[in-house]
Amino acid sequence: MKQNRLLFFYLFIFVIPLSLVAQKYTISGYISDAETGEKLIAANVFDQKSIAGSVSNNYGFYSLTLPTDSVILSFSYIGFQPQEFCLLLNKDITLDIKLGASVSLEVVEIIGEKLERIEETSQMSRIEVPIQLGALKVNVGLHANLFTVEGEKYTSLQPRLGLRYLLEMATLLAL
């Protein structure tokens, strides 16, 4: 009698919970283009019943593990017609999918004309800025480090064309 209770206890603790746990099976395969056979990277696989999904890898391979039940699988990829399959999942299944293109584009011809580049025709200009410091007249040419003080031309040794620098030079010359 005591052995029957012990047997019943072990059966209740270990065997019955194992049968209550839902078994899971895997659906896997490759997703490819129906026309070219090229594997589709990052194609979507989605089960509408369990709201579980997966994405194909760099080789077009997908794998989705779901509990035992009927499943409604949707396969989709941008620019391709989506496909749906209803299956009873009671074992591991390999399902290769070929998606057909949803949009076909006509040939597009692009016509252009060659324009003259700006770099090939460089042009220089000269701007004269007259400045008067007291009785001293300074004429500054901004294109080539030149400035004139009372009709005499001076060249800056440094390529600093700032107005402040030129005013400082003119002030030093006036002293």
Three-state DSSP state, 57: coil
Q: Is the pTM value of this prediction over 0.75?
A: no
In a domain, 130, yes or no: yes
In a domain, 90, yes or no: yes
pLDDT score of 157 more than 70: no
In a domain, 104, yes or no: no
Q: Are residues 150 and 94 in the same domain?
A: no
In a domain, 120, yes or no: no
Q: Please state, rounded to an integer, the average pLDDT across all residues of the chain.
A: 75
Q: Are residues 91 and 138 in the same domain?
A: no
Q: Residue 29, Cα to own-chain centre: how many angstroms?
A: 27
CATH of the domain at 74: 2.60.40.1120
Instruction: Give φ, ψ of 129 to 5 degrees.
Output: -120, 100
pLDDT over 70, % of the chain: 53
Domain count, the chain: 2
For 27-47, what is the mean pLDDT?
95
Domain span at residue 42 reads 22-99
Q: What is the pLDDT of residues 98-128, one digit of tens each?
A: 999 887 778 888 888 877 666 655 556 666 6
Residue type present at position 88:
L
**Which candidate, 35, 55, 33, places its Cα nearest to that of 44?**
55
3-state secondary structure 70-90: EEEEEEECCCECCEEEEEEEC
